[in-house]
Amino acid sequence: MKKILTLFVLTILTVSTVFANGTKESQEQFILGLDDSFPPMGYRNADNEIVGYDIDLAKEVTSRMGVELVLQPIDWSAKEQELATGNIDCIWNGFTITPDREKVVLFTEPYLNNSQILVVKGDSPYKSVDDLKGKTVGLQGGSTASDALNDAPEFKASLDDVIEFGENLTALMDLEAGGVDAVVLDLFVANDNIKRSGKDFRILDGELAKEEYGIGFRKSDVELRDEVQSTLEEMAKDGTIAEISTKWFGMDISVVGKN
Amino acid sequence: MTQLLIPMLEGTLISLKIFFFTLLFALPLGLLVAQAKKSKFWIVRKIVNIYIMIMRGTPLILQLIFVYFAPFYIFNTSLDRMNAAIVAYVINYAAYFAEIYRGGIQSIDKGQYEAGKVLGFTKAHTFFHVVLPQVIKEIIPAMGNEVITLVKDTALAQTIGVAEVFRVAKTASARDFSTMPLFIAGVFYFIMNGVVSKVFERIEKKLSYYD
């Protein structure tokens, strides 16, 4: 029995030493939560550094605010808990503003307009969204692509089937393999994918839904949100945002301070 | 290729860290739980039974989320990601290990305890010097199974943002529009489990002193 007790005490001791290094968070940090697999908004480049349009914006915003930017990769499906429990200070990663999310997240003004579009194979006969009657469509489950489809009930009802994938990438692979006839996803992601992968995909004319990207904060962090918002507006005025936008998208598509 | 392999090796180190810390704590804790399950006090037995039921009856992925996020709502603070992951794996695996230990301990004939008593050994002495060595020999195959599963289960730590090897592979495949990194991660797991299998084979051989 004594030995078991010693073992127990020893275990507790080692556990607590492992935990001792678990302290975190100083006042000056700005912890940005992102799914680091979302090009071109935020993703890992070949050197394993997190880069992207949102990241460039955040770097400039935080350096003007005089705080240290910390990039924290998170699991996208746990983003609301990460924010609510204080493990991150904001979600800034092509985060679409939706009424449901607005209930739990404090958004900035939209900084980028996005839309949900359909990608098909380059050699497929489809010309417009209407040609997809009776066909199968794939999308990333839990993304705003599925919201967009739900908001277009007639189109959804005309489809043969909707297949949900874990990631956009898997959905596009299935498209290439002939499993689905079209994939619903963000315009930015689609453009970036087609451009960089060089695969024979094209975007169908017409969009399924219009969307706006915003930066999400905790409901209680009004001050921080306002500071980020005003810094963004300042950057729009002096042309910094136009510069970053041109770098990533070839032209100025930002909507900060333009509404 | 090296640009891909270096981050993946870093991810593998994270996976290995989870693996080793889980074994380090869950192996002794499991033995303790197995002992507590035969406790004289019904309340202890009850608690241990409920603990094992919850750990084996709910998904590990949910336990990870719970360990990481729940303390915030209860104590208004939370563990570091890595520590939360290790705690979740330890309490989950300790439950499985406890049942394996129990199976092993029950397979030992009652006569051996009686013999220990006759020889004037204390209960603890009989357990640690007579019973436990035989138990270990008995449970090696079952343990091997669990440990191999643990290697693969480390991939679940990405749920709470731990950048283990599978997560690294996923971000790399999103960047390159290729599934190659995922297959490379598969090879990494295969190699790790190859080592684990070999180690268990060696232990089994070493312990088969009667054959």
Q: State residue A28's pLDDT score.
A: 83
Q: State residue A12's pLDDT score.
A: 53
Q: What does DSSP assign to residue A204?
A: P
Whether pLDDT at A21 is above 50: no
Q: Does A250 touch chain B (CB under 8 A)?
A: no
* Total domains in the fold of chain B: 1
Percent above pLDDT 90 for chain A: 61
Percent above pLDDT 70 for chain A: 89
Helix or strand run (H / E) with residue B189 = helix B180-207
* Residue in A8, A74, A193 nearest the CB of B177: A193
Q: Does A199 touch chain B (CB under 8 A)?
A: yes
In whole angstroms, give the CA distance from residue A252 to residue B67.
Answer: 44
Name the B residues in 71-100 with CB < 8 Å from any A CB.
72-73, 78-83, 86
Q: Which residue of B has its CA nearest to A22?
A: B80
Q: State residue B56's pLDDT score.
A: 96
Q: State residue A4's pLDDT score.
A: 56
In whole angstroms, give the CA distance from residue A61 to residue A234.
Answer: 10
Q: What is the pLDDT of residues A155-180, one digit of tens each?
A: 999 999 999 888 888 888 889 888 89
Distance from CA of B211 to the nearest CA of A (A): 31
CATH architecture of A115-211: 3-Layer(aba) Sandwich (3.40)
Q: State residue B165's pLDDT score.
A: 94
Q: State residue B46's pLDDT score.
A: 96
A115-211 and A28-111+214-249 share a CATH fold: yes
Please give the residue range of the domain that contains residue B175: 2-207
Q: State residue A25's pLDDT score.
A: 46
Q: State residue A39's pLDDT score.
A: 87
In whole angstroms, give the CA distance from residue B187 to residue B201.
Answer: 21
> For A28-111+214-249, which CATH superfamily applies?
Periplasmic binding protein-like II (3.40.190.10)
Q: What is the pLDDT of residues A62-83, one digit of tens each?
A: 999 999 999 999 988 889 889 9
In whole angstroms, give the CA distance from residue A60 to residue A57.
Answer: 5
Q: State residue A189's pLDDT score.
A: 87
* Residue in B24, B28, B86 nearest the CB of A7: B28
Q: What is the pLDDT of residues A28-54, one digit of tens each?
A: 899 999 998 888 999 998 888 999 999
Distance from CA of A22 to the nearest CA of B (A): 5
Q: Is the complex ipTM more than 0.90?
A: no
Asked if A169's CB is within 8 angstroms of B174's CB, the reply is: yes
For residue A78, which residues of chain B lie inside 8 Å, CB to CB? 65, 69, 159-161
In whole angstroms, give the CA distance from residue A36 to residue B172.
Answer: 9
User: Mean pLDDT in runs of 10 for chain B (211 residues)?
Assistant: 86 96 97 94 96 97 93 86 96 97 93 92 91 92 96 94 91 83 95 96 88 67
Asked if A167's CB is within 8 angstroms of B170's CB, the reply is: yes
| A168 against A109, higher pLDDT | A109
Q: State residue A37's pLDDT score.
A: 86
Whether pLDDT at A3 is above 80: no
CATH number of the domain that residue B66 is part of = 1.10.3720.10
Asked if B124's CB is within 8 angstroms of A2's CB, the reply is: yes
**Max Cα–Cα distance, chain A, nearest Å:** 78
**Domain regions of chain A by residue span:** 28-111+214-249, 115-211
Q: What is the pLDDT of residues A187-238, one digit of tens each?
A: 988 998 888 888 899 999 888 999 999 999 999 999 999 999 999 999 999 9
Whether pLDDT at A17 is above 60: no
Q: State residue A157's pLDDT score.
A: 92
Cα–chain center distance at A35: 6
In whole angstroms, give the CA distance from residue A50 to residue A162.
Answer: 32
In whole angstroms, give the CA distance from residue A239 to residue A143.
Answer: 32
